């Protein structure tokens, strides 16, 4: 049975990914930092699943938890958003933002890669963002971290390709999850007007793309950046 670790699986895109991998018969390691109860609820719906709470930004905790695990696929999904003018961002906000969205990706990848390299097989799928491609006003640190995740994907894909490990990236547009729950109806309507497919994305839209990249059907795809954004950029 193949195994997948999904960070940030307690809700939103991560939860949707967990459900799809579970339906396809994978053993699913479910991670989040805070809402462990939500993972335990999700675990009831996925027969082969294990709850693994840790903070992806905590390198020691990541390595301690993942060291001995056999992970065939890592989905680096955990993330937080930050909407603020660049010069008003506090040190604490900056540390949390890069710690989760960038260093979390590096920490989890470093922890699972030795096993993948030993077995000469595996795949990593990173969840970036359209803002990592275009840059977003008042989301400068978020855009910078997500842009770095794209560059990380491309570079690591080149480095570990000879070990038969694929590394790809998905860039969602505006997805209807808790991350966007603060938007007013007027904000949502204004966004939808800019989206050629005339709707927000669903967590499942992103999860299907992630599953495709993990599957054998994508066996010749690595270093790719797959937009799932309704055509907004």
Residues that are catalytic: 142
Interface with ligand NDP, residue 65, by CB under 6 A: no
Sign of torsion, CA 200 228 173 149? positive
Interface with ligand NDP, residue 153, by CB under 6 A: no
Query: Measured from the CB atom, is 79 or 122 closer to ligand NDP?
Result: 79
Those residues with Cβ within 8 angstroms of residue 44's Cβ, 6 or more apart along the chain or in another chain: none
| Beta carbon of residue 214, minimum distance to ligand NDP (angstroms, whole number) | 16
Query: Measured from the CB atom, is 33 or 166 closer to ligand NDP?
Result: 33
Distance of CA 81 to the CA centre of its chain: 13
| String of contacts with ligand NDP for each residue 124-143, x by CB under 6 A | ---x-x--------------
Euclidean distance between the first and final Cα of the chain, in Å?
Answer: 38
Candidates 55, 133, 141, 205; binder of ligand NDP (CB under 6 A) is 55
Confirm if 201 and 174 have CB atoms less than 8 A apart. Answer: yes
Token pair, residue 35, equals 């809402």
Interface with ligand NDP, residue 166, by CB under 6 A: no
Q: Which of 147, 138, 134, 135 is nearest to 89 (CA)?
A: 138
| Beta carbon of residue 30, minimum distance to ligand NDP (angstroms, whole number) | 9
């Amino acid at each position: 049975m193949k195994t997948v670790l999904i960070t940030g699986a307690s809700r939103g895109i991560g939860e949707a990914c967990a459900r799809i991998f579970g339906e396809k018969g994978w053993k699913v390691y479910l991670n989040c930092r805070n809402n462990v109860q939500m993972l335990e609820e999700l675990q009831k719906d996925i027969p082969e699943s294990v709850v693994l709470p840790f903070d992806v930004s905590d390198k020691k905790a990541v390595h301690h938890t993942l060291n001995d695990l056999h992970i065939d696929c890592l989905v680096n999904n955990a993330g937080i958003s930050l909407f603020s003018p660049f010069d008003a961002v506090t040190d604490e906000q900056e540390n949390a933002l890069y710690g989760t969205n960038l260093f979390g990706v590096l920490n989890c990848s470093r922890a699972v890669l030795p096993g993948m390299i030993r077995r000469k097989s595996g795949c990593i799928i990173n969840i970036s963002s359209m803002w990592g491609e275009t840059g977003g006003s008042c989301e400068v640190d978020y855009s910078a971290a997500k842009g770095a995740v794209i560059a990380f994907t491309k570079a690591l894909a080149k480095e570990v390709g000879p070990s038969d490990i694929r590394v790809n990236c998905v860039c969602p547009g505006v997805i209807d999850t808790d991350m966007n729950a603060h938007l007013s109806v007027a904000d949502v309507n204004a966004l939808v007007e800019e989206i050629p497919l005339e709707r927000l994305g669903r967590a499942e839209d992103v999860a299907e793309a992630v599953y495709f990249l993990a599957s054998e059907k994508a066996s010749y795809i690595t270093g790719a950046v797959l937009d799932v954004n309704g055509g907004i950029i």
